[in-house]
């Protein structure tokens, strides 16, 4: 086991990880279970987290690689009582069914809004192209993101 220092959701943490442990496994072991484990090979996007504000597949990163870096997981952007506008709007739009792809999708959309708060529909599609959904499809999710953009524009 090796010890690594990492900032997760703006909190400084010390994690003990195996050299070959994937970031998704380490995060889940430490309780960040919003990050889902899907294909485990970089295709489905269920495990997307932000590494220094950029979306990445946490199944394609070894945990020791993130030493001294900043990670943002779904837990870091909203809670049950105080959801992020993206979380709220995607639920309102009916963009959630089984929910497994939702955290990864929201992290990709969240990363987009960080650098581009007024995205077009095309830009949303492009930014979330790494998040596969097998239930509702994508139309309602994209509607949800557009709704969130509107809410956030209103300063909420």
Residues at the contact surface with another protein, assessed by CB under 8 A? 2, 19-20, 22, 40-42, 45, 48, 51, 54-57, 59-62, 64-65, 67, 108, 126-131
**84 phi, psi to nearest 5 deg:** -70, 145
Q: What is the dihedral of CA 57, 62, 65, 70, to 10 degrees?
A: 40
* Cβ atoms 49, 75 nearer than 8 A: no
**Shortest reach from residue 155's CB to another protein, in Å:** 28
Q: Which is nearer to another protein, 57 or 87 (CB)?
A: 57
**Shortest reach from residue 6's CB to another protein, in Å:** 13
**Shortest reach from residue 103's CB to another protein, in Å:** 13
The HSE-up count of residue 121 (CA atoms within 13 Å, CB side) is 7
Q: Which is nearer to another protein, 130 or 151 (CB)?
A: 130
Q: Which is nearer to another protein, 7 or 92 (CB)?
A: 7
Cα radius of gyration (the chain)? 15
Q: Which is nearer to another protein, 55 or 76 (CB)?
A: 55
Both ends of the chain: CA-CA distance in Å?
44
**Shortest reach from residue 55's CB to another protein, in Å:** 5
Q: Which is nearer to another protein, 68 or 81 (CB)?
A: 68
Strands, sheet with 54-57, edge to edge from the N-terminal-most edge strand: 11-17, 2-8, 70-72, 48-51, 54-57
**Shortest reach from residue 101's CB to another protein, in Å:** 13
Which one-letter DSSP state was computed for residue 130?
Answer: T
């Amino acid at each position: 086991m090796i010890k690594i220092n990492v900032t997760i959701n703006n909190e400084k943490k010390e994690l003990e990880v195996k050299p070959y442990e994937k970031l998704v496994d380490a995060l889940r072991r430490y309780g960040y279970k919003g990050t889902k484990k899907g294909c485990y090979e970089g295709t489905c996007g269920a495990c997307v987290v932000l590494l220094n504000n950029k979306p990445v597949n946490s199944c394609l990163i070894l945990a020791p690689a993130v030493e001294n870096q900043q990670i943002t997981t779904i837990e870091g952007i909203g809670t049950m009582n105080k959801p992020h506008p993206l979380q709220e709007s995607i639920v309102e739009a009916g963009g959630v069914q089984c929910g497994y792809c939702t955290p990864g999708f929201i992290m990709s959309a969240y990363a987009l809004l960080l650098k581009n708060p007024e995205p077009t529909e095309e830009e949303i599609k492009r930014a979330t192209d790494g998040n596969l959904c097998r239930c509702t499809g994508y139309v309602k999710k994209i509607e949800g993101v557009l709704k969130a953009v509107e809410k956030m524009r209103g300063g909420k």
